[in-house]
Amino acid sequence: MNFLRVLAVLLVIQCSWSCNKTKEKKSSEFVMKTSKTYDYDVVIPDLNIPWGFVFLPDNSILVTEKSGELIHFKNGKKTQIKGLPEIKPLGQGGLMDIELHPDYRTNGWIYISYASPEGNGNGANTAIMRCKLKGNTLTEQEVLYKANPNSRRGQHFGSRLTFDNEGYLYFTIGDRGNRDVNPQNIERDCGKVYRIHDDGRIPVSNPFVKDRNAKKAIFSYGHRNPQGMEKHPVTGKIWTHEHGPRGGDEINIIDKGENYGWPLASFGINYSGTKFTDKTSIAGMIDPIHHWTPSIAPSGMTFVTSDKYPEMRGNLLVGSLKFQYISHCILKDNKVVKEEKLLEGIGRLRSLEQGPDGYIYAGVENVGIVKIIPKK
């Protein structure tokens, strides 16, 4: 009898060990691993906060510094561009993203987002401008959109820019730290993804153009602070990521007129550790396709389409400000199924772009623009 009891105990222990190993394997499948297969070269050194950058047709680079400088890097030299609009660096705001018109070679339009003091109220809010570069000066400036009212708060200006396949310009504006008023109210700016024509006109197909009191440029709402936005290279859909509070950073696929839940639903909590909602999903609102808890503080994103990185092609790269690495998000059926850390410890990742040469470039705070190179 004693032998049988001992045998039974051993069987239970073995089963428990085996089950725990199975559970451990399942839970560790999504643990981020650091890749040792990439290196980098510093292409543009000595930048502070390179918020955004674009490649011009001659392969020179325009870089926005959050402090309010636009830098043209060509033939190894940096030139400061003149003629910028009035920019008010305020907390997280300043000179932010930059994008070229899809037909830039023909029309020369450049688009920028920045914290502007123009308009109602004290402080600043996000503005979208288009302009042209003539020599070392911005010309033909046109403000296409200005969020109102201004706020003295320094949080959550957004603001990324991208074009879709139909030539519409999308931009993001964060909730400006007013989570309980702005994101869920389509009659107010902030906490939204917007869509306009390239000249600032409101598309008649925008979801709220027939709502008399709505901000007609709004395309989706219920966002906190989206600092990543890209068009999917295959589907043409607009993808964003946004900062959560303490936890709950999100990746979303943006659909017309939809509510993305902030702050009614979130995986995050207050910075103090208290809860502001007990819901992570609400019927009728769109759930994120992926979230990070704890927060990685995402900024910048790009899809990899280049043959330079066959192991990453078709996947998404996201920068982490907080943990200072690039997250290689491996995608399957529009879901992130695994993540891998690249260039861990390089610095605060602010911006990401795939260059015309097929290489991935990253804007790293207090480092500069770096080129990601696969190790041989």
Question: How confident is the chain (376 residues) per 10-residue block, as mean pLDDT?
Answer: 42 38 35 79 97 98 98 97 98 98 98 97 97 98 98 97 98 97 98 98 98 97 98 98 97 98 97 96 98 97 97 97 98 97 97 98 98 92
Helix (H) or strand (E) holding 20: helix 2-28
Q: Are 67 and 89 in contact (CB under 8 A)?
A: yes
Separation of alpha carbons 183 and 168, rounded Å: 22
User: What pLDDT, on a 0 to 100 scale, did the predictor assign at position 32?
Assistant: 63
> The tokens 């914290």 sit on which residue?
115
Query: 330 forms bridges with which residues in the sheet?
Result: 338
Nearest Cα residue to 263 out of 187, 337, 320, 182: 182
Domain extent listing, the chain: 32-374
Name the helix (H) or strand (E) containing 29.
Answer: none
- Catalytic residue numbers, as ranges: 156
Helix (H) or strand (E) holding 9: helix 2-28
* Residue 170 structure tokens: 């999308």
Asked whether 370 and 39 are in contact (CB, 8 A), the reply is no
Q: How far is CA 355 from the centre of its chain?
A: 17
Structure tokens at 324: 């200072």
Q: Do residues 250 and 291 touch, judged by C-beta distance below 8 A?
A: yes
Strand, coil or helix: 370: strand
Nearest-angstrom CA–CA distance, 204 and 196: 10
Q: Which two tokens stand for residue 348?
A: 């605060």
CB count in 10 Å sphere of residue 111: 22
| Pairing state between β 33-34 and 77-80 | unpaired
Cα 314 to Cα 66: distance, rounded to the nearest angstrom: 30
Rounded Cα–Cα distance for residues 288 and 223 (Å): 11
Backbone Cα Rg of the chain: 23
C-alpha 352/C-alpha 298 separation (Å) is: 11
Rounded-to-integer distance, Cα 351 and Cα 304, Å:
14
CA-CA distance, 149 to 69, in Å (whole number)? 25
Distance CA 55, CA 75 (A): 13
For strands 335-342 and 33-34, give the pairing. Answer: parallel
- The DSSP-derived string for 97-118 is EEEE-TTHHHH--EEEEEEE--
Q: Could you give the strand order of the β-sheet that contains 161-163, starting from the edge strand earlier in sequence? A: 161-163, 169-173, 192-196, 218-221
CA separation for the pair 133, 57 (Å, rounded)? 13
Residue 205 CB contacts under 8 Å (≥ 6 apart), including other chains: none
Query: Is 32-374 a CATH 3.40.50.880 domain?
Result: no
Minimal CA–CA distance to 261: which of 191, 194, 189?
191
